[in-house]
Structure 1
Amino acid sequence: MRYRHWGIASLLLLVAFGAVADPPPNRQTELETLLYQDCGSCHGMTLGGGLGPSLLPERMARYDVTAITAIILHGIPGTAMPPWSELLTRQDAAWLAKQLKKNSPTP
């Protein structure tokens, strides 16, 4: 467990700080589909948890957008959370992170 925290901290260092513009509306629609279908396959179709933990806003409140973005892009070593950096841009991942922080992400 101790090493997992270091892994997450290391991932945070890989992501540059600063604002990232939202992707265009058509890409946002694609990302919403990815969130509920691809992410939902492990985190539950309503994101309430499954093989992976819940991604609901009350759980995501403990992380900032930068941390969630890093986890999306680089995964979590030693867990089933894969890196998505080959399929998603930083802009995509940051937008998804913001959606997970909302009170009610749109399915």
Structure 2
Amino acid sequence: MKLDVSGGGFLHGLTLRSPNRQSAFTVKYSSARDGNATLKGGTGHFLDSVPRGAVILISCPENTINTCWGGLTTRRAQTLGAVGTVIDGRLRDLEELRELEYPVGLCAQ
């Protein structure tokens, strides 16, 4: 099958896990040391802008040593109606996250 997409292709075996779709709320952290740090799309903490029913997608710069997600952010996300979070970065409070039964996925590099 030719898709006319540079670097594109067909991924055999992908299956639908749920017919329910959720909106995504993307967050990209940047390093202040790189001089790229800017706030786009709002003021205050990003969690206050997450729409009800959204999945939060967080990307952190490579070699980030701080965590970007934990128990407090999970509780706030749940209170605001987020349905899950996927993180390319670090997290903490793993036991607490398990107790809260809030779906969190990690990308490993």
Relative to the length of structure 1, the TM-score reads 0.24
Name the TM-score, length of structure 2 as normaliser.
0.23
Larger radius of gyration: 2
Richer in helix (by share) = 1
Point out the structure with the larger strand share.
2
Higher relative contact order (CA 8 A, sep 6+): 1
